[in-house]
Structure 1
Amino acid sequence: MATQYGIVGTTAKAIAASVERGVAEGALAPGAALPPVRRLADELGVSPGTVATAYKELRQRGIVVTRGRGGTVVAPAPAVASRRPPRVPEGLRDLAGGHPDPRLLPALVPPSRLSPGARPHRATPRLAPLEEAVRDWLRPDGVPVEQVTFAHGALDLIGRLLSVELRPGDAVAMEDPGYHHLLDLVAALGLRTVAVAVDDEGMRPDALEEALGAGVRAVVCSPRAQNPYGGCFSAERRDALARVLREAGDVLVVENDHASEIADAPLWTLAASGLARWVHVRTVSKFLGTDLRWAAAACDPVTSARHDGRLLLTSGWVSHLLQDTVHRLLTDDGTRALVTRAREAYAQRREALKAALAERGIPAHGASGMNVWVPVRDESAVVNGLRSYGWWVAAGARFRLAAPPGVRISVAGLEATEAVRLASDFAAVLGESEATYGG
């Protein structure tokens, strides 16, 4: 349906600004059709080439999209609000947040000596001791460590790389179901998301091959503790994915090893698989502290240079105070022992819930990490049903693109005795749901 908003302007820049103003003010809603090029050119008294240039600029900035015979329409708004988790109702046991057990996190003590204000941070953005510790951390897992860099968390690094490497309208292959903040980030950058199905071994090679055939420019995947499904690469799966990616050529592969030390699974990395463009990123928030917004990454030389060049122009560096805190924790024997305890505890809690569900005939997924994914027919019925029993779990809608429905249960603080009760309540809710809705 043609829009009633009056686009004005006699130059490509002015026409593009008029459309953008209409979008910002809400007069042009997501999906609203813009006039055909020749018709708008006649209305404004300009050449069709001027309007075409304006539309091209709007497409490049992610404000509009072209749908073939469907014409040019305002791009869908990023689904940030719809994917935010709802507030946990008072009095419920929160199993939706995905946070680590605070009892298994080390105490955070800031450095005793503050960094001098005149220190040349931009000239030396990374502390040498932490850079070496990162190489020692990554090297045993087979990750090439010739180029390493730091960022303010995985989302910060991935957002920076995608904004440098891609242009609005480009496509990114994403796990489905996948981490909701990453799905939001890709949309917010004006990029298109192409869903890639996952299973207990992570991304499926056939689904990835189909996405690459659709022209994606980047791939974002998790080698273990995949959120929310819990999949982890086997050696065979890694090799199969690598074969598909090598045939694709110059595609940036982002490997997000967000739960590395507490994933309870070996790393079979794509980083050493002969890919042209790759980055392996690790964070510490799941096992050192949720407030440590820091990430380490190993990259190919081109990706490293592009990331660091953009970082230099924005924040410049990651706080040296933060780097010093991370370094002391990563190299502390007591902290390492605590992280080992956390990894073992999360594995026991995850397996206890899966076993309790299996005893009641309820299939669940969670080969690694802190989450269990349970396929269900009706997410709302299960979430609301468990709420009546005192549990709060995450509906799968905010993690899904085209995947079937399910719920995510975070097990970080769920003791084995509680797992049995939760599984019994889950079975009761499924029975109530079937009695109510049939099937």
Structure 2
Amino acid sequence: MAIQYEITGTTAKGIASSIEQGVVDGALAPGAALPPVRRLAERLGVSPGTVATTYKELRRRGIVMTHGRGGTVIAEAPSVASRRPPPVPEGVRDLAGGHPDPAFLPAELPSARLSPGLRSHRARPRLAGLEELTRAWFERDGVPSGHITFAQGALDCIARLLSVELKPGDAVAMEDPGYHHLLDLVPALGLRSVPVAVDDEGIRPDALRAALRAGVRAVVYSPRSQNPYGGWFSEGRRTALLEVLEDAPDVLVIEDDHAADIAGVPLHSLTTGGPARWAQVRTVSKHLGTDLRWGALACDRTTLARHDGRLLLTSGWVSHVLQETVTRLMTDPGTQKLVGAARTAYAERRASLLTALSARGISAYGASGMNVWVPVRDEAAVVNGLRTHGWWVAAGARFRLASAPGVRITTAALAPGEAEPLAAGLAAVLDESQATYGG
């Protein structure tokens, strides 16, 4: 059926925004046919290439579908597919999940009281005790704590930051390879991802500079425990990145320090003496428990106002019961002893696997965090090959935008003595792959 909605715009971004607005308003219903490329180009007075670029971007974001000669139509359910991992087969050692070792998490949660019904949560959304602890938490690593707030985890916080700062079609610089849930989140918000290559020291200055030239409005990165590559900012890398960002004062810099307490390495943050618009996000899920969906945000004054303004209109506040639980765990000596043990164990386990792989001539990366990234030629062949040896690792496809193939191995729960047989199994699989594909 022909559409009646009047599409406007003179650029690919403008046309895409117009079409998306029609979808949001309901004027472009699922299944509605969009005009052929040349016809729409003539109507808008633009080149066919501009319209083709528009349709390509809308297809990538799941807003439209193309059926060959059937033309381009609005998707039945405009969405972005999640990069969910396949189920773990029975009888294998699971090293694919990216989760902490349960042995280092509190076995029981402290009791917490329900808030009195008459308390004004919106007027006082943060418990004073946890706010004080949070400021000290940031200040411990040199992050300015003048403006802080809470959220329901890192993804919730980053989603809110991007949604209040950017509009559909804007570009975000993303680590590549990077955290798969963040890679899903950006297009789900109607934004475009611009890949930024990483190495052992995190995002590369040359790649960030290229992304800024491409017009990104925000950059999201991890200064340590980068997932899945394990990169960690050195002081030199921090300086180089700040020099790049000097030419982009309006870009929002979002620092995801999700594993602050178990990273095992110092923080060299871009938030200190750097960008005018910045935010650092921290969570407790990696060191206190994955069910504790609480995150802390330190940021500049403008970012705080925009984040909390949107929070007030949606969930309003973070559960005071959750806040009280986190407060008690953060001040419990036994829990903090577990966190310290985890920090040491994760570093040892990661190093053990890297050493075992290096001894067999296998390149791998993991300067910090709970994962090791191994470049491979054929991800599926390696994953399935390791399965026959009793190991289950994550194929790198869901962590990548444009980077080369690899597999992610979570070392957090790698027991003493397991690094050697795992490395031996991987070496055997790679040898088989080499024999299959040739030199």
- TM-score, normalization: structure 2? 0.88
User: By how many angstroms is 1:69 displaced?
Assistant: 6.1
Contact 2:223 2:233 in 1 (8 A): yes
Q: 5 Å matches for 1:197-208?
A: 197-208=197-208
In structure 1, what is the Cα distance between the partners aligned to 2:438 and 2:27? 47
In structure 1, what is the Cα distance between the partners aligned to 2:6 and 2:30? 21
User: By how many angstroms is 1:433 displaced?
Assistant: 1.1
Q: 5+ unaligned residues in a row in structure 1: which ranges? A: 42-47, 53-65
Of stretches 407-416 and 80-89 in structure 1, the one that deviates more from structure 2 is 80-89
| Structure 1 pair 10–390 and aligned structure 2 pair: CA distance change class (3 A) | closer
| Structure 1 pair 365–314 and aligned structure 2 pair: CA distance change class (3 A) | same
Match of 1:7 in 2: 3
Match of 1:235 in 2: 235
| Structure 1 pair 328–350 and aligned structure 2 pair: CA distance change class (3 A) | same
Match of 1:277 in 2: 277
1:117 equivalenced with 2:120 (yes/no): no
Please give the secondary structure, in 2, of the residue aligned with 1:247. Answer: coil
User: By how many angstroms is 1:77 displaced?
Assistant: 3.1
Match of 2:50 in 1: 68
Please give the secondary structure, in 2, of the residue aligned with 1:81. Answer: coil
Please give the secondary structure, in 2, of the residue aligned with 1:323. Answer: helix
Contact 2:201 2:233 in 1 (8 A): yes
User: By how many angstroms is 1:14 displaced?
Assistant: 11
Contact 2:223 2:255 in 1 (8 A): yes
| Structure 1 pair 22–361 and aligned structure 2 pair: CA distance change class (3 A) | farther
Contact 2:224 2:267 in 1 (8 A): yes
In structure 1, what is the Cα distance between the partners aligned to 2:54 and 2:122? 44
In structure 2, what is the Cα distance between the partners aligned to 1:437 and 1:14? 46
Q: 5 Å matches for 1:92-111?
A: 92-111=92-111
Q: 5 Å matches for 1:366-405?
A: 366-405=366-405
User: By how many angstroms is 1:25 displaced?
Assistant: 2.8
User: By how many angstroms is 1:238 displaced?
Assistant: 0.6
Please give the secondary structure, in 1, of the residue aligned with 2:373. Answer: strand
| Structure 1 pair 144–23 and aligned structure 2 pair: CA distance change class (3 A) | same
| Structure 1 pair 8–229 and aligned structure 2 pair: CA distance change class (3 A) | same
Contact 2:40 2:51 in 1 (8 A): no
| Structure 1 pair 23–376 and aligned structure 2 pair: CA distance change class (3 A) | farther
Q: 5+ unaligned residues in a row in structure 2: which ranges? A: 9-17, 63-78
Show CA shifts across 1:295-318 (max 9, x none). Answer: 001000000110000000000000
User: By how many angstroms is 1:9 displaced?
Assistant: 4.5
1:351 equivalenced with 2:333 (yes/no): no
Match of 1:300 in 2: 300
In structure 2, what is the Cα distance between the partners aligned to 1:102 and 1:432? 34
Contact 1:34 1:72 in 2 (8 A): no
Q: Which residue type is aligned with residue 162 of structure 1?
A: L
In structure 2, what is the Cα distance between the partners aligned to 1:425 and 1:232? 28
Q: Which residue type is aligned with residue 68 of structure 1?
A: T
Size of the aligned set, in residue pairs, is 411
Q: Which residue type is aligned with residue 436 of structure 1?
A: T
User: By how many angstroms is 1:22 displaced?
Assistant: 9.2
| Structure 1 pair 6–365 and aligned structure 2 pair: CA distance change class (3 A) | same
Match of 2:70 in 1: none
In structure 2, what is the Cα distance between the partners aligned to 1:18 and 1:235? 46
Contact 2:374 2:407 in 1 (8 A): yes
| Structure 1 pair 386–22 and aligned structure 2 pair: CA distance change class (3 A) | farther
User: By how many angstroms is 1:7 displaced?
Assistant: 1.5
Question: Percent identical across equivalent pairs?
Answer: 65
Please give the secondary structure, in 1, of the residue aligned with 2:312. Answer: helix
User: By how many angstroms is 1:434 displaced?
Assistant: 1.3
Match of 1:136 in 2: 136
Show CA shifts across 1:152-199 (max 9, x none). Answer: 001001000100000000000000000000010001011010000000
Contact 2:251 2:277 in 1 (8 A): yes
Match of 2:61 in 1: 77
Show CA shifts across 1:210-259 (max 9, x none). Answer: 11011100000100000000000001101111111122111100000001
Match of 1:268 in 2: 268
Contact 1:9 1:18 in 2 (8 A): no
User: By how many angstroms is 1:436 displaced?
Assistant: 1.8
Contact 2:2 2:33 in 1 (8 A): no
Match of 2:76 in 1: none
User: By how many angstroms is 1:80 displaced?
Assistant: 4.4
- TM-score, normalization: structure 1? 0.88
Match of 2:321 in 1: 321
Please give the secondary structure, in 1, of the residue aligned with 2:304. Answer: helix
Contact 1:111 1:321 in 2 (8 A): no
In structure 1, what is the Cα distance between the partners aligned to 2:20 and 2:263? 52
Show CA shifts across 1:353-404 (max 9, x none). Answer: 0011111110100000000000011111100100111111000010011111
User: By how many angstroms is 1:34 displaced?
Assistant: 5.1
CA RMSD of aligned residues (A): 2.4
Q: 5 Å matches for 1:9-24?
A: 9=5, 17=22
Please give the secondary structure, in 1, of the residue aligned with 2:429. Answer: helix
| Structure 1 pair 278–67 and aligned structure 2 pair: CA distance change class (3 A) | farther
In structure 1, what is the Cα distance between the partners aligned to 2:23 and 2:231? 47
Contact 1:36 1:71 in 2 (8 A): no
Please give the secondary structure, in 2, of the residue aligned with 1:350. Answer: helix
